Amino acid sequence: MAIACMAFFFIVGCGEKVFYLGEVGTPMRAAMGVGPEPPLQLLWERQLDGAPLGGVVFAGSLALQLSTSPSLHAFNRHTGAKLGKKSYDELACGPGVLAGALFLLAVQGGEPGLLAMDRRTLEERWFHPGSFCRAPAVSGDTLLVVDEKGTIDVLRASDGEALWQVALEERVRVGVAVGEDLLFAGTNEGTLLALALADGDEKWRQELGEALRSRPLPAGDRVFTATASGKVVAVASDGGAVLWQQALGGLLTEDLAVGAGTLVAGCVDRHIYGLDTATGEVRWSFETEGVVRSSPAITGQTAYCAASDGYLYALELASGRLLWKYKVNGPVLAPVVLYEGLLGVVSEERTLYIFGRR
Amino acid sequence: MGGISKVRNSLGFAALALALLATAASGQFTSFGKNKVQYAEFEWQKMESEHFDVYFFAEEEVLAAYAAQMAERQFADLEIKFAHTVKRRVPLVVYSSHIYFEQTNIIPNILPEGVAGFTEYLKGRVAMPLSGSYPDFERVLHHELVHVFTFDRIARVMERHSILDFRPAPLWFTEGLAEYWSSEWASFGDMVIRDALFARRLVPIAQMYYINGTYQMYKEGESICHFMADRHGKDVFEQLFGNWWRAETFAEIFEITTGESLEKFDKSWQYHLRKHYLPDIADHDPPNELAKARTKTGFNIKPEIAYGDSVGFYHFRNDQGYTQIVHSRFDDGESKIVVEGERLPIFESLHPLGTRPSVSPDGKLLAFSAKSRGRDHLYLWDIEKNKQVQDLAFEGMVAMATPSFSPDGRRLVFSGSDQAGLTDLYLVDLEDESLHAISHDLYHDRDPDWSPDGQRIVFSSDRWKGGRHGLYNLFLYDVESEEILALSHGEHNDAQPRWSPDGSEIVFSSDRDTMYNIYSVRLENGSNGERAGTRRLTNVLTGAFDPVLSADGETLLFSGFQSGGFQIYELEMTASDSAKVQWQAVTAASAEPWTLQGLHGESQIAKRPYERKMGLDIAQSQISQDPEFGTSGGIQVALSDVLGNDQYYFVLSHIAGSRTGFFDGLNLALSRLHLGQRLNVSWGVFRLNDRFSSRFGRFVREKRTGAHIGLSYPFSRHDRIETRLSLRRSEIDRQFEGRRLNGWLANNFISYTHDSSLWVPTGPLEGRRYSIGLGQTVDFKTSRRFNITLFGDYRQYVRLSQRSAYAIRLMGRRSTGDVPEFFSIGGSWTLRGYPWRSIWGSKMILINQELRFPLVDRLLIGLPFGNMDFSAFRGALFLDAGNAWNDDFDEWRGAFGVGARLALGGVFVFRIDGARRTDFKSVEGDTRWDFFFGWDF
């Protein structure tokens, strides 16, 4: 049995060949009402063996963090106890994602593609070729991935079978997003598209003039995105009409966050912005001391965002007032993640921090 | 490993130390090379802003505060462009003048005048001078900071993905991006690209290494970055850097990022340029199509006409690597050298790009500025007697340019820069040499020219609102009222104004139609006051500069850019077409059109005295194995301060196989070099047990413990005197002669070295180098004299044509005493046709003669893994003679033959020589081949 453990490098309970990765559940990102309110306490911090690739993924009782080494680190999300690590031969190209019973990893190297592994055993289930460096969107048993050439593949998560495929014929630098029955994608040419989730039929497209660099964010009757120069755009989700545009100071975070009528985005001009989702008006801005590349997350009243100045900031969602901040040991580029009363943030100094309320 | 490996490894460890230590043999022979002279000594201070440590000296405090503030602004701008921040503090060393900048010890290289700043990657230091223009300083600073961000961004991406090898970006890309992100596309870029297209000299991306480091590479790189942003979005660069870890070559990274192959992109870029620029030929011409070329070879600019001289004109010429002022005849184009520059300390640089010569109204004197002994001087040169008659230098004046005589010939106006870097206009009385400043402010006043009636001086300046963005207009200074009037107005660059001989008009160069052309402005008094009517005189496709009118006003001389170089052209003046004259009012110039204020308050910037904190330059370790001597291992460490003025070298190695215990096998040396003053001082201590082949090819083992001190005083860039003293306890085993010696040795020597050679990639082509010296070694405990050594080395390079030369070397060494030193010859560097260091003795003589000539300019060899490009493939015919002996000279040994040299990447030169030996009575039948790496003597 010990041999089996060593073979898998993943020592989460070595009683069997099965390595349990927590309860099935979808990791929560940018969701409201599930995170803690400040002030937070640092529950635990752990060192990684490489720079973080994406944010922490919460799965049942586990906190999983992918690193560029590339390794997948598993910790007990409550105690921080190190449960194991699995290293990969191929270089990882994007953040890891949990989808039902699968853990998905985009690899590049010999043959780039999306590697789906059993979340319990980490055995390979299927492999889908393509250059996928953006996190897939998950909708039930459906995976939606877009490669850098702009081909959207919709796969059945359980077996990797392709359900439909659409070639946008424009390169893509941001991941796709899923609304109620629509899939949204933004291209380098500045096209925002809505496709039917069922079959990929194009429902509408809107030309926004320059490369889209923030993943479309559907919220209510509108979809938000942002361009390479830092222009935030809101379009109607039913027809794609532009509702408003707001130019900010530069490239915005890859993911935007919306809550309580406020759209929150970090910017490379060292600011975190809060925009009125109805009008696009800048309600508030908060100046940090570094470039902001870490995507924000929102709870009921609070926006959390981290910056390359090494601070995790908690801002009042309504006003942008600083409620609380915490200095971690280095710049933060990976997104802030909220999950069931916990907040995870990981620094470029290879340290994962989990905050909460004791 | 064999013995040769052992020797190399042992020497490798000790190389740094040995270069500094006074050892029995090596210390007495100096190497050639030019000097970086510390003419001015500075009290350095440090200013700390949020991200920068700005190093400056007291006279340039305003510049330093400005630099810190600008750097912070640009840092914020680049954070947005790179979507990245640089976490380390960036050292920024500023100099108020290029002349001071040339003294920097941050890098060891001699800095040419064309270098506007540099970023050094070892410690991430940025060093740059103020050229006189604050907006230009900002642009260069921005350019250098792009390099800082580029380097840091790539390093962090690679580090993030745990990839150890640093994958540098191609030079055209890093420089092109730095240009693209630091300034708007400007007329000089159009000029270079348009010329390259029409002269069919545009270099594709795949072959950009042909023009590595040239201005054309910078501008092509900038053009490519513009096209890249237009085609793939302005954020394409941020994406490229983000993907840097995903592939090993730039072409692969580019394709991953954009989905387009670099080859296809390259073709599209070239097509785009052709489409954009080729229509220009319809209504523009290259200079040689619209004017008559008056010079044809080399680099010729800044024509100047003496009013009474209808035979020819004066100008700067550089066709052999040195700048000269020459007089060229109109009829046959023959040139006569008037002032020979850049060979002697007195005219170390004639600044051909930044100044021009001026002839006195009576045509007898030539005025020009030249760098000499660490600052600029104004020289008056008697043309007829061909000698200097006056040397003007002023306290506190660092740089001077563009002198212009008053009509009575008794005064000069010129553009001068003080120690703070402010560049203003000055008048100097040639009789009493008194100086009067016309202006003293932050504006960059340049190119003054005195009107024939003596009442006005026209000049170019950024003293108008557009000057804040680096644009120059023309101004008039009224000598009597001291009022300054704005002569031209507009968002363009007007430069190099010259009055016509009758004072009715002023010709100047301007980029107002996006290309630099020659214009004329005529002054008139109208009902609404004075007005200026401007018309264009040339319509060149590339660029026209430095206009000057002939004495009769009938012809115009100007410098034209074509086929990548400058020549002087003559154009017949045409009658003015009144319809094409544009009139503007001459108005009073604004007293303070822009300021440096509006930046952060100085209170935010902390000042501190400069502390010599040492930082690591080199740290490396090495282990070698040898079947005879066992295992050797060691480390060497080099440390220096931010300014590079203080350098420490530490070498520690151990010969594990030593039979005499651990301590005997230990080699330890510490040396310090202080370069911050004109007198360079080195000292060190050492404990060495060397087991290497001595310089004459025989085994000598020396165990020595001692200390040394050395002094080196440069008289100029070309000449220096050096002396060195070492005291050591020495145990010498001269295995080759079965002799063991012990003693307390004092070794001292003195030498004088000159080097004014001019190089091509394979070695010197013109100039002279020589070194003579005397040294002795005595046992200071017993007063026993070991030896006295005399040496001399003289090398002369006589240019035969543009790229061929005759070179001769005369070298002699003689050592006498109880324990003489021995010298060896033989091999590729000394006496060809004889084995390496095979001939040795305490006396040596060597004569080499060599004819050096080009074979192939560029040799491209296609290999399965890619092309190898060799920049210079040259040939040599040689005749060598010499010998080394102990008692009596017996005979000359000689060899003659043919050789080839191949420059490899600017670092190595591969040499092959085929020689036949001769005793000068007969010739051996066998051809002997020498292969080696090294430059020509």
Encoded tokens for B862: 């296609």
- Within 13 Å and on the Cβ side, how many CA atoms surround B313? 28
How many A-B residue pairs are in contact by the CB < 8 A criterion? 64
Encoded tokens for A5: 């453990």
- Tell me the C-alpha distance between B909 and B761, whole Å: 8
pLDDT for B872: 80
DSSP string, B732-794: EEETTTTEEEEEEEEEEEEEEEEE--EEETTEEEEEEEEEEEEEEEEETTTTEEEEEEEEEEE
- Is-cis flag, bond preceding A39, omega within 30? yes
CB-based contact B162 A228, cutoff 8 Å: no
Q: Cα separations (Å) of B840 from A175, B672, B695, B789?
A: 75, 34, 10, 15
Query: pLDDT band at residue B665, thresholds of 50, 70 and 90?
Result: confident
Residues forming beta bridges with residue A304, ordered by sequence position: A297, A314
The burial class, CB within 10 Å (0-12 / 13-18 / 19+), for B568 is buried
Q: Cα separations (Å) of B183 from B98, B140, B176, B178, B351?
A: 21, 9, 11, 9, 25
CB-based contact B161 A268, cutoff 8 Å: no
Q: What is the pLDDT of residues B56-103, one digit of tens each?
A: 999 999 999 999 999 999 999 999 999 999 999 999 999 999 999 999
Encoded tokens for A11: 């020592």
Helix (H, G, I), strand (E, B) or coil at B840: strand
Q: Say if B233 is an interface residue toward chain A (CB within 8 Å).
A: yes
In this prediction the ipTM stands at: 0.88
Is residue B362 within 8 Å of B328, Cβ to Cβ? no
Closest CA to B828 of B880, B787, B786, B779: B880
Question: What residues contact B587, with CB distance under 8 A and at least 6 apart?
Answer: B485, B486, B489
Closest CA to A286 of A261, A303, A310: A303
Distance from first CA to last CA of chain B, Å, rounded?
Answer: 31
Alpha helices in B572-615 (DSSP H): none
The burial class, CB within 10 Å (0-12 / 13-18 / 19+), for B220 is buried
What residues of chain A lie within 8 A of the CB of B87, using their CB? Answer: 308, 331
What residues of chain B lie within 8 A of the CB of A348, using their CB? Answer: 156, 160
What residues of chain A lie within 8 A of the CB of B73, using their CB? Answer: none
| Shortest alpha-carbon distance between residue B161 and chain A (Å) | 5
Is residue B247 within 8 Å of A109, Cβ to Cβ? no
Buried b (16+ CB within 10 A) or exposed e, B122-143: ebbbbbbbbbbbbbbbbbbbbb
Question: What residues contact B292, with CB distance under 8 A and at least 6 apart?
Answer: B569, B570, B571
Q: What is the pLDDT of residues B270-298, one digit of tens each?
A: 999 999 999 999 999 999 999 999 999 99
Question: What residues contact B731, with CB distance under 8 A and at least 6 apart?
Answer: B702, B703, B704, B740, B741, B742
Query: pLDDT band at residue B570, thresholds of 50, 70 and 90?
Result: very high
Q: Say if B84 is an interface residue toward chain A (CB within 8 Å).
A: yes
Domains and CATH numbers, chain B: 168-282 (1.10.390), 287-588 (2.120.10.30)
- Tell me the C-alpha distance between A224 and A192, whole Å: 10
pLDDT for A88: 81
CB-nearest to A173 from B80, B83, B239 is B239
pLDDT for B604: 57
CA angle B452, B458, B463 (to 5 degrees): 170
Is residue A192 within 8 Å of A184, Cβ to Cβ? yes
CB-based contact A291 B79, cutoff 8 Å: yes
Question: What residues contact B557, with CB distance under 8 A and at least 6 apart?
Answer: B294, B303, B305, B313, B546, B547, B548, B549, B550, B568, B569, B570, B571
Q: Say if B79 is an interface residue toward chain A (CB within 8 Å).
A: yes
DSSP string, B318-380: ESSSS-EEEEEETTT--EEEEEE-SSSGGGSB--TTT---EE-TTS-EEEEEEEETTEEEEEE
CB-based contact B162 A210, cutoff 8 Å: no
Percent of the residues in chain B that have a pLDDT greater than 70, as a whole number: 92
Q: Say if B235 is an interface residue toward chain A (CB within 8 Å).
A: yes
pLDDT for B304: 97
Is residue A156 within 8 Å of A180, Cβ to Cβ? no
Q: Say if B246 is an interface residue toward chain A (CB within 8 Å).
A: yes
- Tell me the C-alpha distance between A120 and B601, whole Å: 60
CB-nearest to A171 from B84, B161, B259 is B259
Encoded tokens for B396: 């506190």
CB-nearest to B238 from A249, A251, A348 is A251
Measured in degrees and rounded to the nearest 5, phi and psi for residue A171 equal: -70, 155
CB-based contact B80 A173, cutoff 8 Å: no
CB-nearest to A229 from B234, B239, B259 is B234
User: What DSSP character marks residue B447?
Assistant: E
User: What DSSP character marks residue B540?
Assistant: B
CB-nearest to B83 from A69, A188, A291 is A291
Encoded tokens for B377: 């001087």
Encoded tokens for B15: 């190389």
Is a pLDDT exceeding 80 seen at residue B628?
Answer: no
What residues of chain A lie within 8 A of the CB of B256, using their CB? Answer: 131, 148
Query: pLDDT band at residue B740, thresholds of 50, 70 and 90?
Result: confident
Q: What is the pLDDT of residues B353-411, one digit of tens each?
A: 999 999 999 999 999 999 998 999 999 999 999 999 999 999 999 999 999 999 999 99
Q: What is the pLDDT of residues B527-552, one digit of tens each?
A: 888 999 999 999 999 999 999 999 88
Q: Which amino acid, B820?
A: P
Is residue B349 within 8 Å of B377, Cβ to Cβ? no
CB-based contact B79 A268, cutoff 8 Å: yes
- Is-cis flag, bond preceding A70, omega within 30? yes
Q: Say if B88 is an interface residue toward chain A (CB within 8 Å).
A: no
Q: In this predicted model, which residue has the larger pLDDT, B128 or A131? A: B128
Residues of chain A with pLDDT under 70: 1-35
Q: What is the pLDDT of residues B301-350, one digit of tens each?
A: 999 998 778 889 999 999 888 899 999 999 888 999 999 988 888 899 99
Using an 8 Å CB-CB cutoff, list residues of chain A that contact chain B.
Answer: 50-51, 68-69, 91, 93, 108, 131, 148-149, 171, 173, 188, 210-211, 213, 228-229, 249-251, 268-270, 290-291, 293, 308, 331, 348
Helix (H, G, I), strand (E, B) or coil at B692: strand
Is residue A344 within 8 Å of A353, Cβ to Cβ? yes
- Tell me the C-alpha distance between B596 and B421, whole Å: 14
Is a pLDDT exceeding 90 seen at residue B675?
Answer: yes
Contacts of B424-433 with CB under 8 Å at 24 or more apart are B425/B457, B425/B459, B425/B477, B426/B397, B428/B378, B428/B392, B428/B394, B430/B380, B430/B390, B433/B392
Query: pLDDT band at residue B723, thresholds of 50, 70 and 90?
Result: very high
pLDDT for B29: 56
pLDDT for B210: 85
Please provide the average confidence, as pLDDT, over all residues in chain B: 90
CA-CA-CA-CA dihedral for A257, A262, A268, A270, to nearest 10: -120
- Tell me the C-alpha distance between B614 and B631, whole Å: 32
Number of neighbouring beta carbons within 10 Å of residue A272: 25
Alpha-carbon dihedral sign for residues B226, B231, B234, B239: negative
Is residue B269 within 8 Å of B223, Cβ to Cβ? yes
pLDDT for B194: 96
What residues of chain A lie within 8 A of the CB of B235, using their CB? Answer: 211, 213, 228-229, 251
- Tell me the C-alpha distance between B812 and B804, whole Å: 26
Query: pLDDT band at residue B697, thresholds of 50, 70 and 90?
Result: low
Q: What is the pLDDT of residues B790-809, one digit of tens each?
A: 999 999 999 998 889 999 99
With 0.80 as the threshold, say if the pTM is over it: yes
The mean pLDDT of B636-660, rounded to a whole number, is 84
Tell me how far apart the 2 most distant CA atoms of chain A are, in Å: 61
